[in-house]
Structure 1
Amino acid sequence: MAARSLLLTLTRNARRGKKVPFRSISSSIEAFEEGPIMRTHEDEFTEEERDDLKSRIFRLRLPKRSVTNVLQKWVSEGNNITVADLRSISRDLRRSHRYKHALEISEWMVNHDEYHLSDTDYAIRIDLMTKVFGIDAAERYFQALPSSAKTTETYTALLHSYAGLKLIEKAEELYERMKGENLPLTSITYNELMTLYMSVGQLEKVPLIIEELKRQNVAADLFTYNLWVSSCAAALNIDEVRRILDEMSTDSGCNKTWIRYVQLTKIYITSSHLVNSDFSSLVESEKGVITQRELISYDFLIILYGALGNKDKLDQIWKSLRMTRQKMTGRNYVCILSSYLMLGHLKEVGEIIDQWKQSATAEFNVAMCNKLLEALEEVGMTDKATSFRMILGEKDCEPMDDLR
């Protein structure tokens, strides 16, 4: 029976002949089984072995197909649905970018009194409403929440939505409202603000957020330091990077992960042309610590590998970043430009400028190139600045006259 089941499974999969997106594999093996098929008696038996609520929901390939109907049918068959089941399935759906179906699960929880929603449930719902219906719907939902549900977590969820959409004024107003409500703020709140300012190129506001964090006696986490260091590195403010590392090392919350992070950053600021297999393997081993949690982390990796002189890794990371579904920003282009300039790869610098000019999401910004030129000249890298200025001229992106 086991051999026959295996044969049937292999035959069925071969008959479909479909490739599975990586994100579907990572979220649920049942996603591979999506889609209508011709069934034999043996096929039905195999499906029954997998016939749980999650499997049924993940077989709904199209967003227009109703999760609510699946839930109702499951209950009508005499099955129970626990809140833990719903939260687990919702999490997997979000990981698969199936936000509409995840929102339907949230709706089910809201409409059934036996489920007691937590602050996290409300926060997730705000994020899902933003993704499915837009920020206006999320705002209306947040405003209609009872006062008991307007907590730090739900406020921060709305702040996250504003930051993702680069709605600076709304984000700043919401932050002031959070302070006015005397809510207990966390590092996540300030991380969202810093991510917002970095995404729009307002690096000068990041130190102000750090000052505010300290005034409010909020403990910084590793991601806070990541953002802070990345903003200074993107501006080539090396002295400030050193000062942050010193502060980070003395932080009472510093653990082994933080210490390794500090070590990696010191490699960057002290060895701009270091090529050493031991250090390269160290960076590779820590890649999991500072990789894809946020788009900002790509910038930091680009700077690190550029500092290590590892062009192959630099090329790979840049290619990987361009293949993601993230919208590129001017900051991303400046980071990769500065790294290639440091290594003297002028052909790649020209290619990056072309990519930036052709980008559908990040309008080419000559002012940011001017700032990079200024930074290079201020640290005495006049040859790099001259090369960069020449390339800009060749690409019809003339820098401002006062930088000549």
Structure 2
Amino acid sequence: MLLQSTFIQSPLHQHVSLSSTSSHPFSIPFGFRGSTLVRTITMHNHPVITCSISQVHSYGTVDYERRPPVKWNSVYKKISMMENPELGSATVLNQYENDGKRLTKWELCRIVKELRKFKRYKLALEVYEWMNNRGDRFRMSTSDTAIQLDLIAKVRGISNAEDYFLNLPDTLMDKRTYGALLNAYVHGRVREKAESLLDKMRSKGYATHPLPFNVMMTLYMNLKHYDKVDSLISEMMEKKIPLDIYSYNIWLSCRGSLGSVEKMEQVFEQMKLNRTINPNWTTFSTMATMYLKLGLLGKAEECLKNVESRITGRDRIPYHYLISLYGGIGNKEEVHRVWNIYKSVFPNIPNLGYHAVISSLARLDDIEGAEKIFDDWLSIKTTYDPRIVNILMSYYVKKGFLENAEALFKQMVEMGGKPNSSTWEILAEGHIRERRISEALSCLKEATSAERSKNWKPKPANMTSLLKLCEQEADTASREVVVGILRQMGCFEDEAYMSYIPISNRVPNGEELLAEKGKIDNDDDSNISDGAEMLLNQLQGSL
């Protein structure tokens, strides 16, 4: 049970105000754990079994926006808002202590928690390294070690995390550090190493609770190995390892992903029979997503009512899913209603919230509503998130209003926004639709060098259309540029991706590609996750 509390915390356990909440669903306070306990609290006439919580500090769902600032918070802001992040966290920490002030380990770990919550992993790792250089002041626990391993995996890659793990002294090798390495493998989809490590955890007696099984099941869900999910569930039952709320929600998603409404509902009924488990908002949003995918809109809408009734504390994430799923159902009135409730509950809405509502309204063809909320966002934004702009730009392009998309793009740049790869590709798509080959290629070249373009690949549908246009215009030079872009972005190494690109003859490096089989839309601005993806985000998003 201790590993569970130190390894992961997410809205799946947000029954009461004892669980951690944030604008991102996860924050894993590895380093904040003393002894643990389980509390049962009654809310709304229902017993609620909470997850393990610390006796030292519980990080409740307090509205931090209304709390008076504390010392750690001021230091956190200085680190997170540095004009030049390359200077590193140590610069701020050294300056603070040079001014005659001292930070406690709890305060430093709290800063790490916030940095991780907003995915500032490099800065968070630098805080721990600063503490490591002051070993006489700060004693590192296995929980601290686990969180450092996790940060190293995210910042420097899995191989560096492995080296860190292998060099740990025996006193710091326990279920927490093993669990952190397992999560790194799962997050990187390194299946064989993850399976081998889980076997080692079994042999050491570290797999006697649900967490490592839940983490492993997320990998199998990601890889669509649904039979292996069932196998792990069976193992847990045979070994009398109790299924927790995570286990049931993953199992529900697995059954729904297989297209079996009956089996998914059987899992739900079994879940209700377990008196230690209360279905939470994630349970019902998972089921709503599956019903939506299967076209059972009535059942999906019924589940969404259950989602809303189970929102507790200061958690924004359920509102994002409600808005998105109501958009998927096609219920514009409910999108607006939930959005208005959301605004009334929270004085500040994060970019993710605006992304959810603008995307849903655009999907429902309520462009006036989407534009109005976009203007509201412009008036209060703290950062210019290109993903929000991309929603409207994509809508304009698909409706044939390229001029509108270009005007919005120009406005973004003038206001200091940085286009991402998808922004440039949206413009390229508009030019492709108007048969402007050179303009489309110019935008795609910009996309390959945009910030964070390393993991971007152009949509196969766009590249297919552009290649066909080059063929129709007998423009072999432009065709070779398209092939070069595909090669530059590593598309040729992705056989599944390339099977959708119709290149009829041999390309310069001699690779023979399959004919087009269909259309893949890999737009990174897509707003609705399926049930499996939602659970994967919640279990891994901030690990």
| Matching residue of 1:151 | 174
Summarize the alignment of residues 285-324 of structure 1 with structure 2, pairs less than 5 Å apart: 285-286=309-310, 309-310=329-330, 316=360
Cα offset for 1:62? 3.2
Q: 1:103 to 1:317 in 2, by over 3 A?
A: farther
Q: Contact (CA 8 Å) 1:163, 1:192: kept in 2 or not? A: yes
Read off the aligned partner of 1:106 and give its amino acid letter.
Y
Q: Contact (CA 8 Å) 2:226, 2:254: kept in 1 or not? A: yes
State yes or no: 1:215 paired with 2:259: no
State yes or no: 1:241 paired with 2:264: yes
| Matching residue of 2:131 | 109
Q: 1:85-112 deviations in whole A, cap 9, x for unaligned?
A: 1011111111222211111111122222
Which sections of structure 1, spanning at least 5 residues, go unmatched?
Answer: 1-21, 28-48, 325-353, 367-394, 399-404
Q: 1:330-356 deviations in whole A, cap 9, x for unaligned?
A: xxxxxxxxxxxxxxxxxxxxxxxx967
State yes or no: 1:254 paired with 2:277: yes
The 2-side partners of 1:136 and 1:75 are apart by: 34
Q: 1:291-314 deviations in whole A, cap 9, x for unaligned?
A: 969xxx97x998x769x9546579
Given candidates 92, 103, 113, the residue that maps to 1:91 is: 113
| Matching residue of 2:197 | 174
| Matching residue of 1:190 | 213
Read off the aligned partner of 2:144 and give its amino acid letter.
D
- TM-score, normalization by structure 2: 0.45
The 2-side partners of 1:209 and 1:23 are apart by: 31
Equivalent position SS for 2:360: helix
Given candidates 164, 167, 189, the residue that maps to 2:187 is: 164
Q: Which stretch of the first structure deviates more once superposed, 252-261 or 187-196?
A: 252-261
Q: 1:376-401 deviations in whole A, cap 9, x for unaligned?
A: xxxxxxxxxxxxxxxxxxx7449xxx
The two structures, once aligned, show a CA RMSD in angstroms of 4.6
State yes or no: 1:53 paired with 2:75: yes
Q: 1:215-265 deviations in whole A, cap 9, x for unaligned?
A: 333222212111111111011122321321222111131236389749966
Identity of counterpart residues, as a percentage? 26
Equivalent position SS for 1:252: coil
Cα offset for 1:59? 3.4
Q: Which stretch of the first structure deviates more once superposed, 54-63 or 123-132?
A: 54-63
Q: 1:118-174 deviations in whole A, cap 9, x for unaligned?
A: 332111111110111111110011111122212212111111111111100010011
| Matching residue of 2:38 | none
- Would you tell me which structure has more helix in proportion to its own residues? 1
Equivalent position SS for 2:107: helix
Read off the aligned partner of 1:78 and give its amino acid letter.
G
Q: 1:215 to 1:276 in 2, by over 3 A?
A: closer
Q: 1:272 to 1:23 in 2, by over 3 A?
A: closer
Given candidates 154, 172, 180, the residue that maps to 1:131 is: 154
Read off the aligned partner of 2:255 and give its amino acid letter.
C
Q: 1:45-66 deviations in whole A, cap 9, x for unaligned?
A: xxxx999433432332333112
State yes or no: 1:65 paired with 2:87: yes
The 2-side partners of 1:23 and 1:356 are apart by: 33
Equivalent position SS for 2:102: coil
Equivalent position SS for 1:74: helix
| Matching residue of 1:335 | none
| Matching residue of 1:232 | 255
The 1-side partners of 2:90 and 2:145 are apart by: 19
The 2-side partners of 1:219 and 1:86 are apart by: 35
Read off the aligned partner of 1:60 and give its amino acid letter.
M
The 2-side partners of 1:166 and 1:225 are apart by: 22
Q: Contact (CA 8 Å) 1:229, 1:241: kept in 2 or not? A: yes
The 2-side partners of 1:168 and 1:260 are apart by: 26
Q: Which stretch of the first structure deviates more once superposed, 107-116 or 123-132?
A: 107-116
Q: Contact (CA 8 Å) 1:163, 1:196: kept in 2 or not? A: yes
The 1-side partners of 2:286 and 2:190 are apart by: 35
Equivalent position SS for 2:280: helix
Q: 1:84 to 1:265 in 2, by over 3 A?
A: same
| Matching residue of 1:78 | 100
The 2-side partners of 1:81 and 1:56 are apart by: 14
Q: Contact (CA 8 Å) 2:186, 2:219: kept in 1 or not? A: yes
The 2-side partners of 1:56 and 1:238 are apart by: 50
- TM-score, normalization by structure 1: 0.59
Read off the aligned partner of 1:71 and give its amino acid letter.
L
Q: Which stretch of the first structure deviates more once superposed, 258-267 or 151-160?
A: 258-267
Q: 1:209 to 1:357 in 2, by over 3 A?
A: farther
Q: Contact (CA 8 Å) 2:256, 2:287: kept in 1 or not? A: no
Summarize the alignment of residues 194-209 of structure 1 with structure 2, pairs less than 5 Å apart: 194-209=217-232
RCO (CA 8 Å, sep 6+): is it higher in 1 or 2?
2
Read off the aligned partner of 1:74 and give its amino acid letter.
Y
Q: Which stretch of the first structure deviates more once superposed, 90-99 or 260-269?
A: 260-269
Q: Contact (CA 8 Å) 2:72, 2:108: kept in 1 or not? A: no
The 2-side partners of 1:217 and 1:56 are apart by: 48
The 2-side partners of 1:275 and 1:77 are apart by: 61
Q: Contact (CA 8 Å) 1:123, 1:157: kept in 2 or not? A: yes
The 1-side partners of 2:203 and 2:95 are apart by: 46
The 2-side partners of 1:106 and 1:213 are apart by: 35
Equivalent position SS for 1:274: helix
Q: Contact (CA 8 Å) 2:284, 2:304: kept in 1 or not? A: no
The 2-side partners of 1:317 and 1:117 are apart by: 49
Read off the aligned partner of 2:79 and give its amino acid letter.
I
Q: 1:111 to 1:254 in 2, by over 3 A?
A: same
| Matching residue of 1:375 | none
| Matching residue of 2:298 | 274
